[in-house]
Amino acid sequence: MKNSDNPTPTATNKGVKNNIVQPSPDAASELKDFFIDSLKDIYWAENALVSALPKMASNATSPTLTSAILEHLAVTENQVKRLEKVFELLGESAEGKKCEAMAGLLKEGDSILLETVPGAVRDAGIIAASQKIEHYEIATYGTLCAFAKTLGENDVAKLLTQTLAEEKEADCVLSDVALNTVNMVAAE
Ligand SMILES: [Fe+2]
Ligand SMILES: [Fe+2]
């Protein structure tokens, strides 16, 4: 064995060992449990979006942006129902668990409203905040689809794949609105 295969402990990797987090008493030990926890997290997040999107739409000036947000609100309401179907298929009750990431993204969206004057600049800010949200959802549903397939939950995977496609579509629509209208006006 070469010396490099068996490195002597350094201050850095000793620190890594000392940083191992002790799991809480209800921590998931099976992938299925972690999957259910993650579904509860995104269920909370989608419900929070249903409450937050009307405010974003009200603060947008561009009619194209307003209608894109309102359209995604209807899609999001359906995603909530789709998640309820997922819980049903898994024999679990549909309940949410606070998603700290979405709570943070929505808080950032609120500060962007405070930091921008209504009009094209605020619209650009709303798109920026919305795209961060869509990217978070794309990452989340991508992972959830992979978990569902690994667990052999093919019907659940199909439902989650539909939502993943809708989140990608919403992101593309926002990019189009930004490129075709809002950003150009905001830069004037
Ligand atoms: Fe969503
Ligand atoms: Fe979304």
Q: Tell me which of 12-21, 78-87, 141-150 is least confident.
A: 12-21
CA distances from 135 to 12, 79, 153, 169, 172 (A): 33, 16, 24, 11, 11
Looking at the CA of 172, which ligand is closest? Answer: 2
What is the whole-number distance in angstroms between the Cα of residue 59 and the centre of ligand 2? 18
Looking at the CA of 169, which ligand is closest? Answer: 2
Looking at the CA of 160, which ligand is closest? Answer: 1
Report residue 1's pLDDT band, with 50, 70 and 90 as the boundaries: very low
What is the whole-number distance in angstroms between the Cα of residue 63 and the centre of ligand 1? 22
pLDDT tens, position by position, 68-126: 999 999 999 999 999 999 999 999 999 999 999 999 999 999 999 999 999 999 999 99
Mean pLDDT, the chain, as a whole number?
A: 93
What is the whole-number distance in angstroms between the Cα of residue 19 and the centre of ligand 2? 35
- Return the half-sphere exposure (C-beta side, CA atoms, 13 A cut-off) of residue 161: 9
CATH class of 29-187: mainly alpha
